[in-house]
Every structure is written in structure tokens, then in C-alpha cells.
Homo-oligomer: A and B are copies of this chain.
């Protein structure tokens, strides 16, 4: 289904070429002032076409709040519907794919499951679907903000280029704010607060773009100030619900929580976060114990595959099974990780607010 969350529920709608995309948010607390500018700020961060590195599609992506607020922008406790018109549609860019299941794309499986596909482009699998997620996350972040919960993410690797380990550890301990990351982004056109590796990443992506190819990367995210007690003991452990949310973002291939795969190489005596004054002195756990938040910084890393749409010719087959050569015209992003940053933050925000609202019981 197209709904995420149990008490803070976000239902997204829209395809790449429908009249609009957006979401209905249900369960947001009442009598809270919504900041429309802060919402638009998040949509602008998500928007492609801002830098020379990313796709040139100029989507203005103006959020229109249709329902749920009174005239003073106070929430009424009723569903908040937000939508963004699809303005810059170029169906002709997709005509060539009518008969071809693009490698790495959803064309093949959508056709098999639904016996129909959107005539042009990804339809529901388009990155524009993430607009609804960012709206839901932006509204959640406004509420979390006044609880002093802050969420920020950055690009931690592109291809083989990584932020140095010690720098990354420092960033996890003391994460930059979203605003600080945007300052960096304004400078290097990239959301990596470590200048040296950022410049290398940008250089690599430019090369990949010249090669008409694409490249993957990782995003690291930290949630600071999360209340103790979110998550449930069994199936709805904090990290399990978070993994669900994060692995639902298009192009994700992996999720690490706390020490992650590196942690498997450690011994228990080193990995255990011992308490001092009832506070853990290390944070290999990543902010939960037994699936429930413990008040420490929550951190996780997400793997994004290289974008499937590339300019290079690809030998593949059409729906009839005939060999063909596919060459994508039109725009494409050589790397989505920088742009994925606000989407990752948004899904994290949705999870935190949902589990927070669920945790209230007395």
C-alpha cells in the first residue's frame, strides 16, 4: 500500500506524469503552527536541477497545502493534504521506452504485476514519488524540532571515495545541522561536509557524467535528541521500522544501523557499550538497546546503487524478447546520493514521529 506509519500516517499519491504528486498526512497533532516556508525549503532541497551535477529538469515543486489547517496555519487534527503540480513533463523523452523494459528499472515488474504501465517514464516508480515523502518528513520535522530532535544526513561515499573513517566518526558524534550541510552544498554543490572528499566525489561524478554513466554511493544519517523508549520489543524494533522506511526509498541496496557490518568483526568485549553513571560510554549500538531508543545519537548508513538510467548504449531486449540497443536520451542524474539526503532525513523523521506518537500510553 501507499501508506507508511501507524499513528503518523503518510499516504503518497501521484505518478511522474499525473496532474500532481503529494501526500495525505493523518495523525499529526492538532493546534500546531505549520511553517509553510520550512516545508518549501525541504522540497527545494529535494529538487533536482539546482547544480551542474544533477538533472536539468526544472521542477518548481511548489507545495500547496489543501486541507488540515485553519487560516492561521494551525493544524486542526484532520488530514493534511499537500500537493505539488507536475509541470515540466516531457513525455516525448520516454516514447522510446514504450516497448522496452529498461534495465534496472521497474518497467518489467510493473508490466507483469499490473498488466499496464504509465505511458511515459517511471510512473509511480519515478523519483517524483519522493515529493510526498519529503512533504510528510518536512511536517514531521517541524514537530520534532520543537521537541529538540534534529535529523541530518550527508553523503559518506561515492563509488570508492569515502569520508575518512575518523572524520566520519566525528561527524556521527557531532553531526552538522541541515543548515550547515546546505552551506556546504552551496559551496561545493554537494552534501558532504568534509571538503577534501567532497571535492573528489564531485570530480568523480563529473567524470562519470562525461562517460554517460552513473555511480552509486552511501548516505549517513544521525538523529539527535530522540526520546528514550521509542520502538517495540519484537517486530517493530526502532531499527526494523527504520529499515523498512529507508529500504523503501528508490535505489537503496543496504542499511546499516550503529556499528553495522563492521560490528560483526568485533568481539563482544569491545562492542558492548558499557555504562558509566547509567550512560553508555561508547555507541556501537547506534542509539537503541533491544530495539528501543536509549537516548544516544541514532545513526545509520544507506547504500544507493548507481542510477539505472544512463546515456551509454546498453544491449538488452524488448518486451517481445528481441535483442535491441537502448540509449537513453534526455536528462539523467549520474549520481543521486546528494539529492537523496533530504529523502533519507524525511523517512527518518516520519519514523521517529510515528514511533513517538505510538509510545504515548498513559
A217 to chain B, nearest CB (A): 5
A 1-41 contacts with B by CB, 8 A: 1-4, 6-7, 9, 11-15, 18-22, 24, 26-27, 29-31
**Does A14 contact B66, Cβ atoms closer than 8 Å?**
yes
Instruction: Using CB atoms, name the residue of chain B closest to A215.
Output: B267
Copies in the complex: 4
Indicate whether A254 sits within 8 Å of B257 (C-beta atoms), given known contacts A21-B67, A78-B124, A264-B218: yes
**Does B106 contact A289, Cβ atoms closer than 8 Å?**
yes
Instruction: Using CB atoms, name the residue of chain B closest to A256.
Output: B254
A142 interfacial contact with B, CB 8 Å: no
Could you say which of A78, A218, A357 has the most chain B C-beta atoms within 10 Å of its C-beta? Answer: A78
A357 to chain B, nearest CB (A): 6
Chain B residues near A308: list those with CB within 8 A.
268, 272
Q: Which of B12, B234, B254 contacts A234 (CB 8 A)?
A: B12
Q: A13-B80, A256-B303 are in contact. List 4 more A-B contacts (CB 8 A).
A: A253-B258, A253-B263, A254-B255, A264-B306
Instruction: Using CB atoms, name the residue of chain B closest to A123.
Output: B76
Complexed CA–CA distance, A256 and B157 (Å):
16
Complexed CA–CA distance, A159 and B318 (Å):
45
A260 interfacial contact with B, CB 8 Å: yes
Indicate whether A67 sits within 8 Å of B290 (C-beta atoms), given known contacts A30-B114, A101-B275, A104-B271: no
**Does A303 contact B260, Cβ atoms closer than 8 Å?**
yes
- Interface-forming stretch among A164-172, A184-192, A240-248? A240-248
A74 to chain B, nearest CB (A): 6
Instruction: Using CB atoms, name the residue of chain B closest to A113.
Output: B229
A 256-297 contacts with B by CB, 8 A: 256-261, 263-278, 280, 284-286, 288-294
A360 interfacial contact with B, CB 8 Å: yes
Q: Which of B7, B26, B254 contacts A2 (CB 8 A)?
A: B26
